[in-house]
Amino acid sequence: MDFITGEILYVDKPLEWTSFDVVKRLRGVLLHRLHRKKMKVGHAGTLDPLATGVMIVVTGRATKQIETLQAGVKEYVATIKLGATTPSFDLETEIDATYPTSHITRELIEQKLPLFVGRIEQVPPSFSACKVDGKRAYNMARKGHDVQLKPKVLVIDTIELVDFDADEMTLTLRIVCSKGTYIRALARDIGQALDSGGHLTALRRTRVGDVGIADCLTIEQAAELIRTTDIELPDEEKDLDKKD
């Protein structure tokens, strides 16, 4: 493998890791293996810390492909808790309001979901990486500031109701959508459409473009691959690698 010229790794991001944590971990292993102090390593598409699943990591000159790679269609499996909201629209923050749910049925959910299929406008969460006056929205939101974000146009190809637990008032959805879709915001909007509230309790990205979970390595598998695979090195670095 030639990590300097550029390689693409498919990783299953663990729960509670940031996307930066994944890049930092694999960059560290690469730098040690290649005896370098610097190297370009990036990722194609951020995943929230409370989400898991497909993450594309790129090295070297392959970082130039990031825009193309992250433009691929995304697929998620999301679990939404109805009847309550949180400021972040997920479990990062505590419940701030509760709503009635006795009127919610599977039939009502199936009636409302098509409203979110196709070309739609979505207001991103305040707890997001969107910028307001040059500042990250999540930094402002965490300090208690009122963050106003403009709606963004996106495309949702499919929303499939996988499961609805009427006792727990949770629903599981399979969602196929374009780049830039906030599933947390979708949880908020679906809750509102059901005349209730909603927040995300679990999220797994199962596909980016043609890359699925089955194509992904764990973090440790990716690190071990870097440590043990044959690596193409510039001539001046080959002797150093032999001494490692």
The one catalytic residue in 12, 48, 90, 189 is 48
How much of the chain, in percent, has pLDDT values that exceed 90? 67
* 48 given a catalytic annotation: yes
Greatest CA separation for the chain = 71
211 has pLDDT over 80 = yes
What's the confidence (pLDDT) of residue 45? Answer: 85
Which one has a higher pLDDT value, 244 or 47? 47
Look at residue 244 and tell me whether its pLDDT is greater than 60.
Answer: no
pLDDT of residue 233: 64
Mean pLDDT in residue range 202-225: 97
Predicted local confidence at residue 128, as pLDDT: 60
pLDDT surpasses 50 at 201: yes
AA identity, residue 73: V
20-60 confidence digits (pLDDT tens): 999 999 999 999 988 888 989 999 988 989 999 999 999 98
pLDDT 10s digits, 161-181? 999 999 999 999 999 999 889
Is 80 exceeded by the pLDDT of residue 130?
Answer: no
